[in-house]
Structure 1
Amino acid sequence: MKQELTLRIILETPLVDVDFALQKGSGTGYHTIQKQRSTARDLSFECTVTVKNRLDGQPDFAGVVVQGTPSNRFIYIDIGASAGQLDTVWRRRLKVPLRGITTEMIDESVSNPSSILETKVPGTGRDGGPACGTVKPFMGWYVATK
């Protein structure tokens, strides 16, 4: 059975004056959505994904922002020029894994209208620029209040 699930990604302390956006689609035909220019505050992105159970019982995610193979799904946050910003030296993407979201977490979030699945990821990398690549260390997803 397919279910709709809302996810929130909080990008903590991103580099100031850089555009960040969710990536919709893949390949050369992708678009950015929810573009935001960073200030001194965390950025927040919300999206809806579809979830169903794979044959092995594990959740599988689909939707316009979902990337990757069934066993390795993720969401891209486009950064700088990748998000359409023309006046920047940054061209990066941050891969936010969907691993660790359990059926129990999904059921709790879907059954309670005031709940949402949330994760927090670093906005600045070790090099002082915007964080990019796969989020490491990834602290995982949790049920939060909307």
Structure 2
Amino acid sequence: MEAEITMQIILIKPTQNVVFGLQKGAGNNYETVQKQISTSDDLTFTFSIKVKGDRSKDELPKLSGTFVQGPADSKFVYIDIGTYAGQTDTHWSRRLKIPLTGITWKEIDSLHGDSLLQTIVPGTGRDGGPNCATVKPFAGWYTK
């Protein structure tokens, strides 16, 4: 089985006047897409990933695509922040790691029509700057 599903990340109240964007590609060969400068509103990033696997052999679906990063057992998506997102007039240089762990065949099977998998994460860290590193605690993905 191979399919493409839509994912959506909502950053709640990210640090203002900072550029946030979705990382497409990996290593030195990546670009930041869907760049948005934060105001007082939440930011939304919508993208597609590939789902592969055989339900009879694979306990969990195999996730891949241009937005997916990391080893097979701990896939994630990056949100680039500040200079990592191409902003030149900031001192912020961060990345936010959104785990793709916990996505099961049950979540994949719950998608119908225009539904998608969504997660909501805080956009501001404890230091008042943009949230960065791996989201903790991570509430997971749910069908929207």
TM-score, normalised to structure 1's length?
Answer: 0.94
Structure that is richer in helix per residue: 1
Count of residue correspondences: 142
Match of 1:68 in 2: 70
Question: Take 2:29 and 2:117, find their aligned partners in 1: how far apart are those partners?
Answer: 28
* Gaps in structure 1 of 5+ consecutive residues: none
Q: Aligned partners of 1:73 and 1:137: how far apart in 2?
A: 16
SS in 1 for 2:120: strand
Q: Tell me, which stretches of 5 or more residues in structure 2 are unaligned?
A: none
What does 1:1-146 correspond to in 2, within 5 Å?
1-53=1-53, 55-109=57-111, 112-144=112-144
Residue by residue over 1:40-64, the C-alpha shift from the partner in whole angstroms, topping out at 9 and shown as x without a partner, is 0100000000011274321111100
Structure number with the higher strand fraction is 1
The one-letter code of the counterpart of 2:31 is H
Amino acid at match of 1:7: M
Identity %: 54
Displaced runs of 4 or more, over 4 A? none
8 A Cα contact 2:118 2:143, kept in partner: yes
CA distance in 1, matches of 2:23, 2:117: 19
1:126 alignment partner, SS class: coil
Per-residue deviation, 1:108? 1.4
- Aligned-pair Cα RMSD in Å: 1.0
Structure 1 residue 99: deviation in Å? 0.8
Residues of 1 paired with 2:125 and 2:5: CA distance?
29
Compute the TM-score of the two structures, normalised by the length of structure 2. 0.95
Distance in 1 separating the partners of 2:58 and 2:66: 24
